[in-house]
Amino acid sequence: MNKICTVAGLLRWANDYLIRHNVPSPHIDAEYMLAHVLGCRRKDLLIYPDRVLTEPEREQFNACIERRGRREPLQYITGEVEFRGLLFKVNKDVLIPRPETELLVDEVVNSVSKKGVTVLDLCTGSGCIAVSIAKELAESRIYAVDISEGAIAVAEENAGRHGVGERITFLAGDLFGAIDALNLKGKIDVIVSNPPYVSKNEMEELQPEIKDYEPASALYGGGDGLDFYRRIIRESPSYLVPGGYVVMEMGYGQAGRIKDLFEKEKGFIDIEIKKDLAGIERTIKALYSTR
């Protein structure tokens, strides 16, 4: 019995259980969850394979494995995810931050050439983009918007966790409508967004971890996936300073159509598309000029 209740024994059991439930990366996921339960690092599991778990620890680990067996994302089970070296709280109110979204923060930080910039983060979700920018641009002022009040609550908690809550104003509302009363027209230096961009057909093909657990409002971008891009690109000029930027994440195969949207909107020039590490065109940046 003790062998079954050791670190090594439970990892073997969990791996077999997750394989039977068609979970990708079963052994790695089991290690992450056991490390979470024990409050240690994954590598510590290798150092103490014969450690016997207490009954409460076993019960908590079993519950985690059963949730993962139902294809609930690992990040929702542990309640957190790393983004740009920071740990962010996540739950079912927010989209799980992906590594490729870190490119958005890179683009914003690299585009800023002055201190004290004003940034608007649309569809902020967990607040990972807004918080990361606040950490890396120390004198920036950020407004972060999401239509979900649950997401705003999570984002506010993450901002407090990382000590930037005083420089970020979180607002629940529908894109620019959330800031209409703040007199920000013509005053924003950067508009950044990772908007919903999954099309109607793609929604049906998503993995269970995404389709069954992540909020549809953070995923679905309309019939062709571009509804939010149309709105943001059309309305951004009213809020940007001359020389300001719009920076957005894109889905696979969307770059050309989104670039066309920018080119058709008066005032946008110097449109740049960047690829992620997988070679996918992932971010688009456009300069707003009144020339």
Same domain, 155 and 216: yes
266 and 124 in a common domain = yes
pTM of the model: 0.93
202 and 282 co-located in one domain: yes
Host domain of residue 122 = 93-288
* Helix, strand and coil percent figures for the chain, each rounded to 5: 45, 20, 35
170 and 40 fall within a common domain: no
pLDDT digits over 59-116, tens only? 999 999 999 999 999 999 999 999 999 999 999 999 999 999 999 999 999 999 888 9
* Same structural domain, 116 and 234: yes
Helix (H, G, I), strand (E, B) or coil at 277: coil
Same domain, 198 and 140: yes
Residue 118 domain-assigned (yes or no): yes
Q: What's the total number of domains in the chain?
A: 2
- The predicted-structure confidence for 243-265, as pLDDT tens digits, reads as follows 999 999 999 999 999 999 999 99
What is the number of residues in the chain?
291
- Per-residue burial over 206-232, b if 16 or more Cβ lie within 10 Å, else e, is eeebbeebbbeebbbbbeebbbbbebb
CATH number at residue 220: 3.40.50.150
Q: Are 113 and 209 found together in one domain?
A: yes
